[in-house]
Amino acid sequence: MPADLNDYFKNKKGGDDDKRPNTPRPRKQPPQFLNDFGKKTGWIYALIALIALLVIAKPYVVINSGEVGIKATAGKYEKDPLGPGLHFFFPFIQDVMVVDTKVRSINYIGHRDHDMSTSPGRKGFGSYTMGGQNGVINVPSISTIDARGLNIYIDLTVQYRLKPNTAPQTIATYGVSWEEKIVNPIVREVVRNVIGGYKAEELPINRNEIANQIKAGIEKRINAKKGQPVQLVNVNLREIVLPPKIVEQIERVQIAKQEADRVKLEVERARQEAEKRAALAKGDAEAKKIRAQGVADAIKIEAEAKAYENIKIGKSLTPEMLRLKQIEVQGEFNKALSVNKNAQIFLTPGGATPNIWVDSKSKIKATATGK
Q: Is 299 or 24 the better-scoring residue by pLDDT?
A: 299
Which range is least confidently modeled, 78-92, 317-331, 351-365? 351-365
Instruction: Give percent of the chain above pLDDT 90.
Output: 32
Residue 302's CB is within 10 A of a number of other CB atoms, namely 10
* Per-residue pLDDT at 91: 81
**pLDDT tier, 324 (very low <50, low <70, confident <90, very high otherwise):** confident
Q: Is 11 or 3 the better-scoring residue by pLDDT?
A: 11
* Per-residue pLDDT at 127: 37
Residues 301-312: tens digit of each pLDDT: 888 888 877 777
Residue 59 near residue 90, CB atoms below 8 Å: yes
* Per-residue pLDDT at 240: 92
Residues 349-368: tens digit of each pLDDT: 555 555 555 555 554 444 43
Report the pLDDT averaged over residues 106-119.
Answer: 60
What pTM does this model have? 0.55
Rounded distance between C-alpha atoms, residue 337 and residue 331, angstroms: 10
Rounded distance between C-alpha atoms, residue 345 and residue 146, angstroms: 120
Residue 242 near residue 203, CB atoms below 8 Å: yes
Most confidently modeled range among 77-86, 249-258, 263-272, 342-351: 77-86
3-state secondary structure of 361: helix
- Residue 119 reports pLDDT greater than 60: no
**pLDDT tier, 113 (very low <50, low <70, confident <90, very high otherwise):** very low
| Mean pLDDT, the chain, integer | 77
3-state secondary structure of 210: helix
Per-residue CA distances from 63 to 108, 130, 163, 266, 327 (Å): 31, 13, 16, 70, 140
| CA angle, residues 282, 286, 290, in degrees to nearest 5 | 170
Pick the CATH number of 101-242 from 3.30.479.30, 3.40.50.1370, 2.60.40.10, 3.30.450.40: 3.30.479.30
- Residue 342 reports pLDDT greater than 70: no
Q: Is 242 or 306 the better-scoring residue by pLDDT?
A: 242
Instruction: Give percent of the chain above pLDDT 70.
Output: 73
Residues 15-36: tens digit of each pLDDT: 444 445 555 555 555 555 555 5
Rounded distance between C-alpha atoms, residue 187 and residue 108, angstroms: 10
* Per-residue pLDDT at 197: 94
3-state secondary structure of 139: strand
* Size (the chain), residues: 371
Q: Side chain identity at 256, as an amino acid letter?
A: A
* Per-residue pLDDT at 31: 57
* Per-residue pLDDT at 262: 84
Residues 170-184: tens digit of each pLDDT: 999 999 889 999 999
